[in-house]
């Protein structure tokens, strides 16, 4: 299908203008509607915006290709707009967009939109072609440029097809996570570079419409080298014994000649397929160690995020219901569950948030070791969330093991630190650590079991990996990671008590606020929170402690409310420093921050801890410090804005919270790099 056939003259605007991405898409849909192929323009428009929410269609270099496959599209079509002044579009490279193509495809099995995307993406790889379109003086000239480019491309494809029986010097595979533009742009760049260099190359594209131009065994066998330019999994075992380069799909677009040179001069490393038959696909390209770690971490964060948002907002609604029902500080520790509906929502939301760390750890392990890592990582995450308290109970109940029972129990207790009152919940930081360890343990198990007879291959992923992996991870969590973090927690609690006893309430406010923003619901955060609630409990027994206790609790909550709100502000003020998915969560972060649910900041902190955590710590510390200096007090252990009516000096408390949020926002603007950099 030709691009020119789908583009009607009335669907082209050569001197467009818009204030932002939303207006661009609305105008593009209006252009599309002029073709008469939309049965319901509004439904189609919603579909375009929904696709944009998944990931931006601003592919870079000033180009955007929004698209939608919908039942409201009666016939496929294209619309085009040139924006001479450019417009902010959340592009992958962070630059303004000045040429837009909109694709409308009917909801049929032939995936027309993917065919058009493939051909259009390939054409847009030609810088001369794109510049000619931008400078077209009339609609007829715009269409003529497309026609000539397609004619030339078809002639080139026919010539290439007629010469394919002579074999290829290089074979390649391109793939990107969404399987749309970058997949085909990388393929086009490699083919064009091969032509310029006189190298015969065949490229297999693995897009969202499936694998196209699939490499045959004979083609792979006859090639001098293989290039895999992919940021997602591709079948790799077929390349065993070949000289192979694994790179990011962006390298396929930006460095095609370098890749082809390395693939043909014999310097590429030999590829050895280590995966067994039950593991058909390799991981994404290796890249640097830092990039590997980031990719695995983001796998966990992206799967964890729905649990944080869904569960966190349900808990916030529970607090709101109790507030509207007249419960606040009077509900004490039952605030959020004082009414039946609130109790239900808090229970469901709490269960969802309880899955946060296991999902994080499980999918980090999955990214590293594929499906066999999932069960091991989930188990490690559960142990990170639960800590060793239950283990202490089991140890205390052991009987009937003979005269050595007590000694054995004491030995276990000593090394698990489970029976000494130490907080051993390692939280999301422990989840991150054990997620990586789980993946590496499973990969190690894969390697050491390679020598087993082939007849036992079937039980490796179903018995050996989960059994041995869960056991190893259980030992590591219970006897190494949880105890170590437990010691840190104990030291923190002792330090807080020392500061309180010295009467330096301002310093206590600073530290409590900052601690709430270090690990966002993890052990350090919990140490500060437990200190605050513990002070409330002591004040209930000793009224002389009330002022210090209420000031401490106010500082704790102020610090915990800052990170999500500060990050949400930064998403709006510094949009180029965040991904599309991150920016889309700003509303939920406002809600969670206002509800004293610090965990809303976890995905941001996990993705970029070196820049995000210092910013959130500073802002939260400022909020805690100001809250203490202003003498703000709080009697409720939770609730956020829903218990502000119980706050002493509420106006200045809000000021402290907002100043801290602005500090976090400003530091994120300074510390974080733009996404395209």
Q: Do 164-286 and 3-153 fall under one CATH topology?
A: no
Tell me, yes or no, if 176 is annotated catalytic: yes
Question: Exposed, middle or buried by CB within 10 Å (0-12, 13-18, 19+), for 321?
Answer: buried
191-195, 420-424, 566-570 — which one is most confidently predicted on average? 566-570
Question: H-helix or E-strand containing 10?
Answer: strand 7-13
Q: Can you tell me the mean pLDDT for 67-85?
A: 88
How far lies 110's CA from each of 107, 187, 205, in Å? 9, 22, 17
**Per-residue model confidence as pLDDT tens digits over 130-153:** 889 999 999 999 999 988 888 887
pLDDT at site 367: 84
pLDDT at site 399: 47
Which tokens sit at 52? 């944009």
**Per-residue model confidence as pLDDT tens digits over 388-402:** 777 766 665 554 444
**Per-residue model confidence as pLDDT tens digits over 289-345:** 766 776 677 678 667 767 766 776 677 677 778 777 877 555 555 767 788 998 898
Q: What is the largest CA-CA distance in the chain?
A: 96
pLDDT at site 528: 76
Residue by residue, what is the 3-state secondary structure of 368-395? Answer: HHCCHHHHHHHHHHHHHHHCCHHHHHHH
- Say if residue 619's pLDDT is above 90: yes
pLDDT at site 171: 93
Between 494 and 257, name the one with better pLDDT: 257
Task: Please pick, among 11, 67, 68, 665, the residue that the annotation labels catalytic.
Answer: 67
Tell me, yes or no, if 665 is annotated catalytic: no
Percentage of residues of the chain with pLDDT beyond 70: 78
* CATH tag for 164-286 (out of 3.40.50.2300, 3.40.640.10, 3.40.50.1000, 3.30.420.40): 3.40.50.2300
Domain ranges for the chain: 3-153, 164-286
- Say if residue 202's pLDDT is above 80: yes
- Say if residue 560's pLDDT is above 60: yes
Mean pLDDT of the chain: 80
Task: Please pick, among 11, 176, 478, 665, the residue that the annotation labels catalytic.
Answer: 176
Q: Which of 87-91, 239-243, 363-367, 646-650 has the lowest mean pLDDT?
A: 646-650
Which of 603, 601, 436, 400 lies closest to 520, judged by CA? Answer: 601
The verdict on domain 3-153 having CATH code 3.40.930.10 is: yes
Number of helical (H) and strand (E) elements in the chain, helices listed first: 27, 11
């Amino acid at each position: 299908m030709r691009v020119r056939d789908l583009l009607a003259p009335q669907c082209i605007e050569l001197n467009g203008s818009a204030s932002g991405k939303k207006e661009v898409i609305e105008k593009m849909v209006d252009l599309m509607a002029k073709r008469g192929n939309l049965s319901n323009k509004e439904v189609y428009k919603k579909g375009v915006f929904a696709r944009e929410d998944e990931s931006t269609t601003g592919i870079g270099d000033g180009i955007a290709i929004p698209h939608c496959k919908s039942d409201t599209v009666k016939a496929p079509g294209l619309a085009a707009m040139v924006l001479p002044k450019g417009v902010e579009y959340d592009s992958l490279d962070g630059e303004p967009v000045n040429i837009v193509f909109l694709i409308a495809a009917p909801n049929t099995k032939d995936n027309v939109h993917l065919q058009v995307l493939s051909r259009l993406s390939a054409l847009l790889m030609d810088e001369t072609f794109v510049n000619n379109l931008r400078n077209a003086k009339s609609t007829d000239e715009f269409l003529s440029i497309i026609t000539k480019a397609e004619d030339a491309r078809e002639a080139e494809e026919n010539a290439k097809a007629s010469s394919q029986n002579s074999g290829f010097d290089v074979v390649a595979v391109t793939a990107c996570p969404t399987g749309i533009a970058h997949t085909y742009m990388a393929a086009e760049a490699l083919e064009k570079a091969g032509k310029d260099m006189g190298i015969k190359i065949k490229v297999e594209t693995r897009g969202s419409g499936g694998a196209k131009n699939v490499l045959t065994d004979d083609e792979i066998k006859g090639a001098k080298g293989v290039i895999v330019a992919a940021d997602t999994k591709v079948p790799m075992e077929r390349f065993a014994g070949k000289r192979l380069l694994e790179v990011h799909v962006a390298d396929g677009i930006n460095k095609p000649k370098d890749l082809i040179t390395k693939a043909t001069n014999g310097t590429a490393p030999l590829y050895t397929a280590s995966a067994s038959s039950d593991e058909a696909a390799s991981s994404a390209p290796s890249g640097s160690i830092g990039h590997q770690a980031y990719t695995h971490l983001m796998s966990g964060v992206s799967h964890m995020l729905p649990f944080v948002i869904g569960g966190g907002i349900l808990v916030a609604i529970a607090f709101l219901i109790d507030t509207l029902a007249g419960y606040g500080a009077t509900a004490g520790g039952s605030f959020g569950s004082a009414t039946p509906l609130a109790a239900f929502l808090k229970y469901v939301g709490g269960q969802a948030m309880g899955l946060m760390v296991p999902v994080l750890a499980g999918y980090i392990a999955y990214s590293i070791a594929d499906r066999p890592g999932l069960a091991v990582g989930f188990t490690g995450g559960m142990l990170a969330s639960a800590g060793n308290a239950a283990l202490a109970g089991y140890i205390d109940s052991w009987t009937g093991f003979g005269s050595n029972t007590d000694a054995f129990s004491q030995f276990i207790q000593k090394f698990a630190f489970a029976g000494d009152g130490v907080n051993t919940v390692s939280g999301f930081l422990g989840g991150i650590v054990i997620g990586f360890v789980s993946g590496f343990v499973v990969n190690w198990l894969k390697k050491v079991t390679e020598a087993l007879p082939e007849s036992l291959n079937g039980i490796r992923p179903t018995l050996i990996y989960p059994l041995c992996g869960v056991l190893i991870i259980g030992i590591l969590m219970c006897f190494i990671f949880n105890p170590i973090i437990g010691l840190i927690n104990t030291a923190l609690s002792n330090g807080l008590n020392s500061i309180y006893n010295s009467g330096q309430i301002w310093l206590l406010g600073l530290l409590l606020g900052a601690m709430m923003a270090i690990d966002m619901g993890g052990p350090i955060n919990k140490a500060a929170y437990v200190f605050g609630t513990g002070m409330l409990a002591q004040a209930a027994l000793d009224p002389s402690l009330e002022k210090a206790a209420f000031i401490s609790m106010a500082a704790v909550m102020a610090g915990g409310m800052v990170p999500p709100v500060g990050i949400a502000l930064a998403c709006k003020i510094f949009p180029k420093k965040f991904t599309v998915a991150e920016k889309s969560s700003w509303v939920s972060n406002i809600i969670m921050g206002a509800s004293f649910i610090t965990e809303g900041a976890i995905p941001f902190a996990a993705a970029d801890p070196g820049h995000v955590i210092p910013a959130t710590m500073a802002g939260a510390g400022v909020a805690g410090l100001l809250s203490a200096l202003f003498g703000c007090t709080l009697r409720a252990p939770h609730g956020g804005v829903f218990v502000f009516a119980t706050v002493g000096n509420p106006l200045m408390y809000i000021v402290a919270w907002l100043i801290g949020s602005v500090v976090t926002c400003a530091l994120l603007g300074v510390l974080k790099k733009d996404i395209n950099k």
